[in-house]
Amino acid sequence: MKVKNNIILALDVMNGIEASEICEKLTPDIDTIKIGYPLALAEGLEIVETLKENFGYKVICDFKVADIPATNEKICSETFKSGADAIICHGFVGPDSVEACKETAEDFGREIFLLTEMSHPGAKKFLQSDADAIAEMGVEMGIKNYVAPATRINRLKEIREIVGKDAFIISPGVGKQGGEIKETLQYANSVIIGRSIYESDNPKEALKEFIKKSQ
């Protein structure tokens, strides 16, 4: 997945009107957005098609899918039917559940991102201890896309070493959570930024500043 300016906009807002207003300010400097449960639950999966049609974005659904294989297949199927280009799934549920996501994505001609480790402080308590094993599992399964944290550069570096130079890593945690964009892009292909852009007084200028810092 190619990402313009190596920045994915995280739209963690609660309604479609606000989401569209943000997008209007930031097009054409971005071409890929990430939406999560807050927006999808508030507006329904129809919001995916709305944002794609109105702005031409690629849409990653950050649903962190983590259930039994049969349920994962249903979640992914409905998500891809809505027009999503990719979905994020957890790896801690094991290879059979991840395979269900992967196979469904392949059936639709779409992609999955395997989440190895999250960016918030609490992730260190449980997820971090298994993150390397999750990344190794992804490599064994032939997965090419990963999520790894910008808030812990040493961990991001280790995940990159495991998945290899040809894998595509997207990294959350730049901005509000303390991650630095240029440092993160040494190991990640793209960064995920949300509140630091759309909660600023001038979102367009905030985005341009991140683009400048990334160079």
- Tokens 């570096």 sit on residue: 157
- Tokens 């341009």 sit on residue: 208
Strand partners, 27: none
Distance CA 199, CA 12 (A): 11
How open is the CA angle 135-137-142, to the nearest 5 degrees? 95
Task: Specify the DSSP element, H or E, that contains 39.
Answer: helix 37-43
Distance CA 74, CA 87 (A): 13
Choosing from 4, 25, 64, 208, the catalytic residue is 64
Active-site annotation holds for 64? yes
- Tokens 């999560």 sit on residue: 36
Confirm if 64 and 115 have CB atoms less than 8 A apart: yes
Distance CA 214, CA 128 (A): 27
Residue 71's CB: how many other CB atoms inside 10 A? Answer: 13
Rg (CA), the chain: 16
Active-site positions?
Answer: 64
